[in-house]
Structure 1
């Protein structure tokens, strides 16, 4: 596969693309999916029931992604996570400037993955043919860089978090760290550990903070197959999906995802609405059920990426 830059016509077309995150655009595109997303959001944005620790403390996680050379102000916290696309053109000099910015932050742990814009970090990308491997010579300073790897971090109260990070996303254009969207076993190859507490991927799982359809179905299937699902899943990539939701891995969620996959839409819509009514009457009781906080922390957004968003903070 040869590296190919975008043509002028492609670049000129970008400002003309519709705002796919807008409610009116999504309703006109598919009223049924729009309704399913609305119903699902009534529970998924509910308050997370965070388990108590022995001392009543919390681990505060500051989530950011897709800064694209910007340097937003970040709140303090115990952990800072950047879920990729630090740069715009993917050059080493851009990346070093972003590293300097993150290195200056006060967080005890600063964890970073690459995104599809980090061309200089993808040793297999055609643009790096014959060049030195940037990963071997780059100084990450106080940052922990994960590339299909895990890191265990520890806190004074004896709490331990196991974090796994991967930069890979479904192929779109000629960017870095991409795989064929039809490759169903890609996340099996990544071998996400079963004891992962915090999962960081550059892209979202399909139907979750991805404008309904732009995420990876294989990643979502991997999450369903895990016996112990992560407490927190941080990603970005789809700028219009910015936000936070809670996945509870039950019939309600399966029905919603099936609708977004266009599988037995009307039957699953009935199931979804029934579970919604039942949930309202029971107060969405989730005792004993697994919960995953999903965060799309894309810092830029809008039709021309002119919007600037704040970091999203989560307490574990």
Structure 2
């Protein structure tokens, strides 16, 4: 995202500092904070149990906005959009060369709302040379790592905010039309699903609904866009997650908090043990109130 000199209330919220004391947050919204603490505890437990016998290391980065941070080694490198700041071809080509020079066996890239030069209305006849990168725009690629084959789907679209590209009205469900494949291992979108690493409410409701509807959940979902949501969480698809999302959506908060506690107890005593898990990664490289922070890539073993 980029914000001009005249900030709206939404701009200020999206750019707010990620650091706020637990005490202040408890005073402002106690039910939400309690739900987050419970959910975070079980997300960490799910992360520790999320181990594959033949792990593949995925290095996740997003929202570099012309910066070129040092990247750790891995099997797959994923950039989830907003490579550029002003969206010019020169900026994009510089970022492509930087990513092309990385040692990772496979490199997957999608656009973000800043990539103006990739908008179909603005493309010139001279095509973009993606070098060794797999560029995905509502499309997929299967990566053969020998020990495993992983299907990756990428889409640049986000709910509309400002005068950028690859955007849709927040009330519009575009994900059914985009037709994300069912047998997916890694999903890459520029924006997050609602209530997951999105500062609580700036992600897409319909993207989250697609994830719930998928019979086979992706094992990894990489995104960025909401810079303040940087981080990682492991989601287990059960009633605990449903209840958590209900609290965060503001729907009958106390009822959903009781439901959250009930499903947490079911997990503790071993009555419920979710079999499908997805690692969510918000890999926005820039952050802070004025995007002054430079943050590293997030590596995930899947």
Is the structural similarity TM-score above 0.5?
A: yes
Alignment of 1:37-56 (within 5 A): 37-46=36-45, 47-53=47-53
SS at match of 1:270: helix
For 1:101, the equivalent position in structure 2 comes to 98
Task: Identify the match of residue 107 of structure 2 among 106, 110, 114.
Answer: 110
For 1:75, the equivalent position in structure 2 comes to 72
Evaluate the alpha carbon distance shift between residue 285 and residue 73 of structure 1 in structure 2; reply closer, same or farther with a 3 A threshold: farther
* 1:70-127 per-position Cα deviation (integer Å, ceiling 9, x unaligned): 1000011100000001011111111111001000000000000001111111114xxx
Task: Identify the match of residue 145 of structure 2 among 131, 136, 155.
Answer: 155
Q: CA deviation at 1:247?
A: 1.0
Evaluate the alpha carbon distance shift between residue 76 and residue 18 of structure 1 in structure 2; reply closer, same or farther with a 3 A threshold: closer
CA contact (8 A) 2:15 2:290 kept: no
Alignment of 1:128-207 (within 5 A): 128=122, 132=124, 137-157=127-147, 159-183=148-172, 185-207=173-195
- In the TM superposition, structure 1's runs of 4+ consecutive aligned residues that sit over 6 Å from their partners are 13-18
Evaluate the alpha carbon distance shift between residue 71 and residue 6 of structure 1 in structure 2; reply closer, same or farther with a 3 A threshold: closer
For 2:254, the equivalent position in structure 1 comes to 266
Q: CA deviation at 1:285?
A: 6.5
- Normalised by the length of structure 2, the TM-score is 0.91
Evaluate the alpha carbon distance shift between residue 275 and residue 149 of structure 1 in structure 2; reply closer, same or farther with a 3 A threshold: same
Q: CA deviation at 1:49?
A: 2.8
CA contact (8 A) 1:45 1:244 kept: no
Q: Which moved more, 1:23-32 or 1:146-155?
A: 23-32
Question: How far apart are the structure 2 equivalents of 1:51 and 1:7?
Answer: 43
For 1:35, the equivalent position in structure 2 comes to 34
Q: CA deviation at 1:279?
A: 3.1
Question: How far apart are the structure 1 equivalents of 2:20 and 2:276?
Answer: 30
CA contact (8 A) 2:15 2:288 kept: no
Question: How far apart are the structure 1 equivalents of 2:193 and 2:25?
Answer: 19
Question: How far apart are the structure 2 equivalents of 1:210 and 1:251?
Answer: 21
Residue 219 (structure 2) pairs with residue 219 (structure 1): no
Q: CA deviation at 1:20?
A: 4.8
Question: How far apart are the structure 2 equivalents of 1:27 and 1:67?
Answer: 33
* 1:167-211 per-position Cα deviation (integer Å, ceiling 9, x unaligned): 00000111110000001x311011010001000000000010111
CA contact (8 A) 1:60 1:315 kept: yes
Evaluate the alpha carbon distance shift between residue 140 and residue 38 of structure 1 in structure 2; reply closer, same or farther with a 3 A threshold: same
Question: How far apart are the structure 2 equivalents of 1:170 and 1:137?
Answer: 27
Task: Identify the match of residue 276 of structure 2 among 274, 290, 295.
Answer: 290
Question: How far apart are the structure 1 equivalents of 2:84 and 2:28?
Answer: 32
CA contact (8 A) 1:147 1:165 kept: yes
RMSD: 2.4
CA contact (8 A) 1:205 1:216 kept: yes
